[in-house]
Structure 1
């Protein structure tokens, strides 16, 4: 009866005999020519390939298309490119506040500029459509400057506010 190292040598020799009796099979590493899946049977050369690193802009546009974000991104361009879209003079005196359902709310710094923006509304809509695409902004709502609130704290007296400061 075999013990210890002799038993291990006998088992190794038996395994070698079984391996010699089997027919030999050629193995090719996966992903190289002749092995792996059928779609990847060629070498990646100097040309572009799906496995190459992709530019971030292309990946971001693919994600935006998959999740249907194009409307929101186009709306964000209105805010980000406001000066380029409407011109520097208008952008100095007005700023976009909100874009909901194709209606862009713009706040002017004075009532005179609010009136001017209402007169220029058609031209502004054409410029915005040329810059970010049609149907992103369909209507323009112009607001004047917001008045200060005189309501401070939890207790207050109803009325117009402090009247003695307007002389």
Structure 2
């Protein structure tokens, strides 16, 4: 035996290489018995290739495109394909708009402030109080500048408006014009706001000067 050489029949160690001579489908070596041969490690044992495992040789944009196709295929297999809504949305899922608003006015359009205030007053039951306030605020516009100069509204309770005139003559004149005044007020603020009109003369001044007084004839016609 030549020094430095070892016979093939001698014992093998764990470091000795093993030569695989088998091919796919069979062979004399251990690899041939398994039927794998020199097949790449990334190839599956059988059937179609998995898109998530067959991207080892791809680089750059091709790898990203292959990953996207794999994700689409997995989503389609789970029943969540493109255009298919999810079933059983939770409480926090937003509702989609079923229809678009057209060119005509819609409830979602910006509304004027006056219309919103009127709607709020109607919902809260403030319509009658606001109408009564308009009688006092628009008194000169409702009855005219001539009447407003010599008479002013005092109170409004249960549909009865109390008006105080500047003199006895104007108090008599307002009693004669009561029907016309009620019609003007109804046309300006609405019906059933002022149902009756009570006219008073000018307030008489008090002549009492202290806790003691003597009853007399009272104020004359000058004070109503």
Matched, 1:58 2:120: no
Matched, 1:82 2:117: no
Matched, 1:141 2:198: yes
Higher relative contact order (CA 8 A, sep 6+): 1
Matched, 1:100 2:157: yes
TM-score under structure 1 length normalisation:
0.65
CA-to-aligned-CA distance 1:76-131 (integer Å, 9 cap, x gap): 11111111211111111000111111111000000111011111111111221222
Residues 43 and 148 (structure 1), Cα distance of their counterparts in 2 relative to 1, 3 Å cut: same
Residues 128 and 49 (structure 1), Cα distance of their counterparts in 2 relative to 1, 3 Å cut: closer
Q: Which runs of 5+ in 1 are unaligned?
A: 1-19, 27-34
Name the counterpart of 2:95: 37
1:51 positional shift: 4.8
Residues 49 and 125 (structure 1), Cα distance of their counterparts in 2 relative to 1, 3 Å cut: closer
Name the counterpart of 1:126: 183
1:49 positional shift: 5.5
Name the counterpart of 1:114: 171
Name the counterpart of 1:158: 213
The whole-number CA distance in structure 1 between the counterparts of 2:106 and 2:183 is: 41
Which structure carries more helix by proportion? 1
The whole-number CA distance in structure 2 between the counterparts of 1:135 and 1:81 is: 17
C-alpha root-mean-square deviation of aligned residues, in Å?
3.0
1:43 positional shift: 6.7
TM-score under structure 2 length normalisation:
0.50
Aligned partner of residue 162 in structure 2, secondary structure:
strand
Equivalent pairs counted in the alignment come to 131
The whole-number CA distance in structure 2 between the counterparts of 1:147 and 1:80 is: 26
Matches within 5 A, 1:11-26: none
Matched, 1:68 2:125: yes
Q: Which runs of 5+ in 2 are unaligned?
A: 1-70, 83-92, 219-224
The whole-number CA distance in structure 2 between the counterparts of 1:133 and 1:47 is: 30
